[in-house]
Amino acid sequence: MPEFERFGPFEDAFLIEPRRFGDERGWFEEVWNAERFQSLTGINTDFVQDNASRSSAAGTVRGLHFQAPPRAQAKLVRCPRGAIYDVIVDIRHGSPTFGQWAGASLTEENGLQLWVPRGFAHGFATIEPESEIAYKVDNPYSAEHDGGIFWNDPAIGIRWPLDTENAVVSKKDRDAPKLAEMPKLFEYKS
């Protein structure tokens, strides 16, 4: 895999494999480099907040979340401990990929990161117990602009790597609207 590659059918989402340098002591990797990211993707971003979460049980689902304009967020997501299946869904009305999804396994071992652009809902399922997720965002959290869509909306058809009947899901995520019920918050700009 190249260090940066487009993710799924999306022109502005990227799967990133940081370079790891290892020896008998372990390894070192550069997790974020703004200059390199911009030179390889054309995206210039300033992160303003780092977040982390830990999920105790395998089969825990968090998402599908987004933050609406004018406080929309782009995210850089990684899994420094354990393993997750990370998913994004294009929720930009007018986009040629509206309602489409893509997913990838982010693990402690593979070190992969996912760049989630603004206008995408994001969620993940834990594959291993005690999984930790760390992500950078380019806009601070705003409860007023916090939103989500139903994590298992059949119209989207995400193929989660778990028994969806027994998934550990918060009430907020279980009660989130389906994509067809969501207001037009994001417009696609080509």
3-class SS string, the chain: CCCEEECCCCCCCEEECCCEEEECCEEEECCCCHHHHHHHHCCCCCCCEEEEEEECCCCEEEEEEEECCCCCCCEEEEEEECEEEEEEEECEECCCCCCCEEEEEEECCCCCEEEECCCEEEEEEECCCCEEEEEEECCCCCHHHEEECCCCCCCCCCCCCCCHHHCEECHHHHCCCCHHHCCCCEECCC
65 is a catalytic site residue: yes
145 is a catalytic site residue: no
Task: Give me the catalytic one of 93, 122, 135, 141.
Answer: 135
Task: Give me the catalytic one of 65, 93, 145, 188.
Answer: 65
Catalytic residues: 65, 135
